């Protein structure tokens, strides 16, 4: 049975991205302004989504923080995808010795717990900001994709059009971009979308544990890092509203990724 394209997920995700990027006119208040006279205020006319324990307007923080979280997600996914395609393609096209070295190195890095690896790299970079955190998450998320890309490249390397290109003197990057990349695109696109989701989750998890972006840098993760104190003060809106936006975004990305995976699997079965 053919899976329907997730139109609602695409429209919802597009709306969140556009509103996050162009959020300045929508902000009713400065998301960084601490209005100590209105701390932990429930949603109402003046503060549509309420305020946090520092008096910051959650409605404005949602859109501003969404821009930060999505930036981290897309940048980290871009870094992971580029590394995975490069390492996987070189490994799949290289000699058995180089292939073995690259795959053993990939498996060695993959065997290290992701959180430990992320925290170690973040310690090397020092104080976290949007770009350093994106690089750290990107550098710790490419290994699984590289193994998949390597398998795809090995399979495509035995096809007639790739062998013909090599016999005609085609160099590695010519074969990669002209012949391999178009056939790798569906699988890589699915994994890239999943990496955006995983990077957003990683940023939120690190911020929640106090290892990610500092509290003064507003993101959905840093907003959720206030969850423990919000529970004690019964300020449910500080947890529920950012959690709803984060969960909705991840659900949209998951639905789009699942559709892309189904399309890629169908394409490969037709080729077979």
Query: How far is 230 from 222, CA to CA, in rounded Å?
Result: 13
Q: Is residue 4 part of a domain?
A: no
- Provide the CATH number for the domain around residue 154: 1.10.3720.10
Q: How confident is the model at residue 11 (pLDDT cuts 50, 70, 90)?
A: very high
Whether pTM exceeds 0.95: no
Q: Is residue 193 part of a domain?
A: yes
Q: Is residue 121 part of a domain?
A: yes
For the beta carbon of residue 239, count every other beta carbon within 10 angstroms: 16
Query: How far is 147 from 252, CA to CA, in rounded Å?
Result: 26
Q: Is residue 223 part of a domain?
A: yes
Q: How confident is the model at residue 271 (pLDDT cuts 50, 70, 90)?
A: very low
Please list the alpha-helical segments (H only) found in 94-234: 96-111, 114-125, 130-139, 143-157, 160-167, 172-175, 181-208, 220-224, 227-232
Q: Is residue 236 part of a domain?
A: yes
Residue-wise pLDDT tens digits, 153-164: 887 767 766 667
Domain, as residue range, for 207:
55-271
Number of domains in the chain: 1
Residue-wise pLDDT tens digits, 196-221: 888 888 888 887 777 777 767 888 88
**With 60 as the cut, is the pLDDT of residue 272 above it?**
no
Query: How far is 20 from 26, CA to CA, in rounded Å?
Result: 10
């Amino acid at each position: 049975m053919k899976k329907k394209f997730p139109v609602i997920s695409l429209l919802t995700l597009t709306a969140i991205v556009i509103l996050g990027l162009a959020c300045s006119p929508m902000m009713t208040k400065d998301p960084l302004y601490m209005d100590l006279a209105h701390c932990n205020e429930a949603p109402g006319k003046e503060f549509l989504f309420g305020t946090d324990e520092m008096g910051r307007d959650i409605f404005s923080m949602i859109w501003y923080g969404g821009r930060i979280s999505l930036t981290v997600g897309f940048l980290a996914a871009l870094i992971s995808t580029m590394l995975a395609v490069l390492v996987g393609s070189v490994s799949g096209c290289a000699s058995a010795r180089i292939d073995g070295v690259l795959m053993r190195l990939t498996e060695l890095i993959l065997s290290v717990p992701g959180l430990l690896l992320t925290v170690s790299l973040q310690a090397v970079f020092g104080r976290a900001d949007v770009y350093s955190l994106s690089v750290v998450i990107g550098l710790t998320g490419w290994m699984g994709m590289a193994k998949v890309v390597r398998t795809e490249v090995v399979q495509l390397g035995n096809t007639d059009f790739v062998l013909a290109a090599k016999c005609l003197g085609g160099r590695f990057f010519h074969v990669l971009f002209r012949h391999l990349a178009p056939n790798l695109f569906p699988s890589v696109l699915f994994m890239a979308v999943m990496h955006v989701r995983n990077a957003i989750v990683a940023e939120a998890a690190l911020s929640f544990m106090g290892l990610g972006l500092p509290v003064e840098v507003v993101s959905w993760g840093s907003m959720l890092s206030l969850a423990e104190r919000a529970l004690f003060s019964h300020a449910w809106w500080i947890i529920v509203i950012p959690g709803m936006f984060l969960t909705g975004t991840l659900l949209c990305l998951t639905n789009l990724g699942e559709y892309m995976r189904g399309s890629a699997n169908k394409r490969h079965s037709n080729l077979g």
